[in-house]
Amino acid sequence: MDTEENNSDKNPIGHACIQAYLKTLDSSPGVYRMLDAQARVLYVGKARNLRARVSNYARATGHSGRIARMISETSSMMFLTTKTETEALLLEQNLIKQLKPKYNVLLRDDKSFPNILVSRTHGFPQIKKHRGAKKEKGSYYGPFANAGAVTRTLSQLQKVFLLRNCSDSMFESRTRPCLLYQIKRCSGPCVDKISSDDYAVSVREAEEFLSGKSTQIQETLARQMQEASDAMEFERAAALRDRIRALTSVQTAQGINPRGVAEADVIALHLENGQACVQVFFIRGHQNWGNQDFYPRVGDEIDAAEVLEAFIGQFYDSKDPPRQLILSHAIENAELMVEALGSKLGRKVDILVPQRGEKAELVAGAARNARESLARKMSETATQAKLLKGIADVFDLDGPPARIEVYDNSHIQGTNAVGGMIVAGPEGFMKNQYRKFNIRGDDLTPGDDFGMMKEVLMRRFKRLLKEDPDREQGMWPDLLLIDGGAGQVSAVASIMQEMGVEDIAMVGVAKGVDRDHGKEEFHRVGQKVMALRRNDPVLYFVQRLRDEAHRFAIGTHRAKRSKAIGATPLDDVPGVGATRKRALLAHFGSAKAVSRANLADLKAAEGISDALAETIYAFFHEKG
């Protein structure tokens, strides 16, 4: 980037403001930002020629209603020049995701997708689900549309190829076969039930299947089944039959498996009434690995080309694109996008808009899914709007809440305590806004729910006061729902008062008579306790919110407890990572044995240097 410029000293607003910048601009490529009178970013755009692009906005006529509104709100502009238009495109999408401008198309649910990993950290490779950065040594297959698709595929692959899914430390510690071996889901390499050569064959076949060579594997299994049957080895033949059935089950669950498309994302858009749904199908190794729908923020008077181009740029900002993108609509800067994606990936990426053949059929299927998904979403949004209005009426709010935050705690006698916050709004549960809070208070009495809630709320609102004191980013709640009665509401009110936040409505939801669903009581500061009739839709809605918060808090607590159960003192030893931890456990049998080992024994362990052995010995004996 060459320069950055911001002229915001009492500029006029609108066309005149934009016109004033023209004399400072040249024909360089770059990115521009349009800001309102409060310096909030309205729009981020890229340009091959900044002067030419900005001059279009300086014209008084010829703009759509959306662009005209944006221009009328513009009070200042900022510019970043780049060396190439491709660099400008990449920077534009990065800034849009970071700044979330009001008038840009915005991908709101940009999550990572799971993969299947065949790990190579052990002589008998493990097959497992993987999400996140691909740092572990091994072969990755994906992405899959969701965790459920991975789980189903892994379950069937275990039946077919009998690969282990246990951790390396569990593998090393076993002395007899586990349940998965008993139910024919694993070949038992941990107890020498299969040779390393035969296991390697199974690994290779699994990877061939994940690479799209399932037909060859089925033919091989069918031949082996026939040979076993001819030799009257009926038990082995039955086992092979079950593996063939499992393989068929995977393919059936995948639905359409295109033969002419080896690796592609099929991306289809449906626009209706200012709302959009983008449907993405993941095709890898000639196999359909699921689909996912997205609902980017678009607004009125926007065309499909702009929506799809913005979606692609933001979607692949943090993901590797496949070799082909098969689209339902053409995008304006296809060549530029091809260049940007190709430079990111290090190989060519093709963008296609097919008109006939198998690829066109794939797009038609994705477009149908997008249309149906958007119809369901719009119906659900209408219902949600009625429920939020009902919430406002019941609890005397100024208007339907745009953001409801619900809090709950989970612990067992104070241990592994966590707080959970879930968020709901006009479009339902906002899961990317959920937050967990590991309770840190060392001075808390075990089971002190008031103390835990105070810590959670203090941390939550201190951060809001610091990061968004003017409440302009849409992160402040309009309503707090607290799991509890008058005591909890009073405590929360005092906490909020202490922080100077007293204008947010709060309601305590307490189980009523017999702690029964349908008899909930609602508590508010300074008002009488109230209840709703059993069949009131608002009551059901509040129950769903509270139950979702409870589910989230319980799940977070269980994950923390499981992690604590699996932890060992070796986790805290400097220089001991996963590989050396496995080596120590394999050599000594347990963490306790490592802690008691003398220095000579530690030095004798495979992969442990003399210096590290001294570090480990000092760690366990400096306290003794």
pLDDT in tens, 367-389: 999 999 998 888 888 889 999 99
Which tokens go with 216?
């060859």
Which fold is adopted by the domain 4-99?
GIY-YIG endonuclease (3.40.1440)
% the chain with pLDDT above 90: 35
Residue by residue, what is the 3-state secondary structure of 5-54?
EEECCCCCCCHHHHHHHHHHCCCCCEEEEEECCCCCEEEEEEECCHHHHH
pLDDT in tens, 37-85: 888 999 999 999 999 999 999 988 888 888 999 999 999 999 999 999 9
| Domain boundaries for CATH 3.30.420.340 within the chain | 263-375, 404-564
Per-residue pLDDT at 395 exceeds 80? yes
- Mean pLDDT, rounded, for 145-164: 83
Establish whether the linkage from the previous residue to 401 is cis, with ω within 30° of 0.
Answer: no
Contact status, residue 281 vs residue 266, Cβ threshold 8 Å? yes
Quote the CATH superfamily of domain 263-375: UvrC, RNAse H endonuclease domain (3.30.420.340)
How far is Cα 339 from Cα 92, in angstroms, rounded to an integer? 15
How far is Cα 111 from Cα 177, in angstroms, rounded to an integer? 38
- Mean pLDDT, rounded, for 356-371: 92
For the entire predicted model, the pTM comes to 0.70
- Tell me what pLDDT residue 246 has: 67
- Mean pLDDT, rounded, for 530-550: 89
Helix (H) or strand (E) holding 280: strand 275-284
Query: Angle at Cα 427 formed by Cα 421 and Cα 429, nearest 5°?
Result: 25
- Tell me what pLDDT residue 46 has: 94
Quote the CATH superfamily of domain 569-621: 5' to 3' exonuclease, C-terminal subdomain (1.10.150.20)
pLDDT in tens, 462-487: 888 888 888 877 889 999 998 888 88
148-152, 197-201, 413-417, 502-506, range with the lowest pLDDT: 413-417
Helix (H, G, I), strand (E, B) or coil at 143: coil
Sign of the C-alpha dihedral computed for residues 38, 41, 45 and 49 taken in this order: positive
Q: Tell me the pLDDT of the chain averaged across its residues.
A: 84
How far is Cα 198 from Cα 251, in angstroms, rounded to an integer? 25
DSSP string, 569-615: GGGGSTT--HHHHHHHHHHHSSHHHHHH--HHHHHHSTT--HHHHHH
- Tell me what pLDDT residue 448 has: 65
pLDDT in tens, 304-321: 999 999 999 999 988 889
Bridge partners of 352? 326
Q: Specify the CATH number of the domain 404-564.
A: 3.30.420.340
- Mean pLDDT, rounded, for 270-299: 89
Which tokens go with 267?
């991306």
| Domain boundaries for CATH 1.10.150.20 within the chain | 569-621
| Domain boundaries for CATH 3.40.1440.10 within the chain | 4-99
Per-residue pLDDT at 9 exceeds 60? no
9-23, 441-455, 514-528, range with the lowest pLDDT: 441-455
Helix (H, G, I), strand (E, B) or coil at 4: strand
DSSP string, 527-546: S--B---TT-HHHHHHHHHH
pLDDT in tens, 513-539: 655 556 789 999 888 999 888 888 999
345 CB burial (10 A radius; 0-12, 13-18, 19+): middle
